[in-house]
Amino acid sequence: MILSSSGCSNFLGQKCASLKEYMKFMIYRVMVFFCFLLIFLPISCSNKKSDDLAKASEVSVEDGHPFKEKVIIALPPEINIFEQTKKYQPIEEYLQETLKLDFKFKVVESYGAIIRELAQEKVEGAFLGSLNYFLARNQATIEVIARPQWPDGTSSYTGLIFTHKNSGLTRDVATWKNKTFAMVHQATTAGYLFPRWHLLKAGMKDWKHFFNKVVLVGSHDAAIFMVVNRETELGVAKNSVFKKLVKDNPSLEDSLVILAESMPVPSNAFVIRKNSSPQLKNRIKEALLQMDGTNFGREKLDAFGALKFLQTTDADYEPIAKMLQDLQLESSNPLFTLF
């Protein structure tokens, strides 16, 4: 076919026009492709990251115990909620970073509530005082894992009975008759079981009628301030809380007098529900017991105020069993269940 010059021009024009359209179409496709990458690639990466996190926070389905999205650990209200949260924050951060799981430590409103939350499986585990653990075993299926060892080498605490300096009271329990007494809660060793046991050993069996008034104030620091503020003449608290308050408020040392001290009992120990994932239990146990073996772990232990964590068993709670036996109380006694 022979084209005239004008025909050739028209033909080339058509070709050029087609080429321009083709180039526009290709540019459009490239732009669409990049837009697709910009929109969907972050979502894909995010989904992959979520999948990776989910895999990291789940146990294989073989054991039938998938990890929960949050691992909630309960803390006792032994001091005010802000101080208690701050105190345990290094342990929370260590477990979260070491195990790559979303740990959430929360302070419960009472010593009874911590037992209920374990029994109702609202929390995975808890840090429990000695009597609190003893009582919780009857209402929640739990096992004790580990407790901290302090810089002085101890892994225990004691209960202290004290008065204000000018009260006129002495170590002789007879001088306490008809006075007012600030205790903590029925589910505490230092704040309730010990003073009852101490009175029994002093021959005071009818302790309820021995005092003018006994008040349960809910926390150890509150019991101390009840005496400091002269709202009661006697108080009882953990030695660790007492020492911390005196350290923060040196004037308290001159205003309070210690009248009696209990035998040592295990420090607040970490417990976990027995029906929790075996892998979760083993990972937490290993992390706590090996905490002093890494720089990061030692840094968090130092912030917590401890040297390391020690393996703990039921045998460590014999002093509690003895006090209950002497008082002829069972740990399933209704007195302890009506929180």
Q: What φ, ψ does residue 141 adopt, rounded to 5°?
A: -85, 100
pTM of the model: 0.73
A 10 A CB-CB count for 305 gives 13
- Two structure tokens written together for 196: 């009852």
Please tell me the distance from the alpha carbon of residue 31 to that of residue 25, in angstroms, as a whole number: 10
Residue with tokens 């068993």: 313
Return the pLDDT at 24.
52
Report how far apart, in Å, the C-alpha atoms of 61 and of each of 54, 55, 58 are: 13, 11, 8
Lowest mean pLDDT among 113-117, 137-141, 178-182, 332-336: 332-336
Query: Residue 180: how many CB atoms within 10 A of its CB?
Result: 18
pLDDT digits (tens, 9 = 90+) for 47-86: 443 343 333 344 433 344 445 568 999 999 988 899 999 9
pLDDT score recorded for residue 141: 86
Supply 146's token pair.
């580990």
Instruction: Determine the straight-line distance between the first and last CA of the chain, rounded to whole angstroms.
Output: 105
276's CB contacts (< 8 A; 6+ apart) are 65, 124, 125
CA-to-CA separations, 56 to 59, 100, 101, 288, 335, in angstroms, rounded: 8, 7, 8, 19, 43
pLDDT in tens, 168-227: 999 999 999 999 999 999 889 999 999 999 999 999 888 888 999 999 999 999 999 999
pLDDT at 90 over 90: yes
283, 59 Cβ separation under 8 angstroms: no
Give the H/E segment covering residue 57. none
Residue 339 to residue 333: CA distance in whole angstroms = 12
The predicted model gives 237-266 an average pLDDT of 93
Q: Can you tell me which residue has the tokens 């990776």?
A: 52
What pLDDT is recorded for position 9? 42
Of residues 236 and 205, more confidence is placed in 236
Whether 26 shows a pLDDT value over 60: the answer reads no
Q: Is the sign of the CA dihedral 244, 250, 256, 261 positive or negative?
A: positive
Q: What are phi and psi of 277, to 5 degrees?
A: -55, 130
Per this entry, what is the length of the chain? 339
For residue 225, count CB atoms less than 10 angstroms from its CB and return exposed for 0-12, middle for 13-18, buried for 19 or more: middle
Please tell me the least confidently modeled range out of 81-90, 105-114, 174-183, 326-335.
326-335
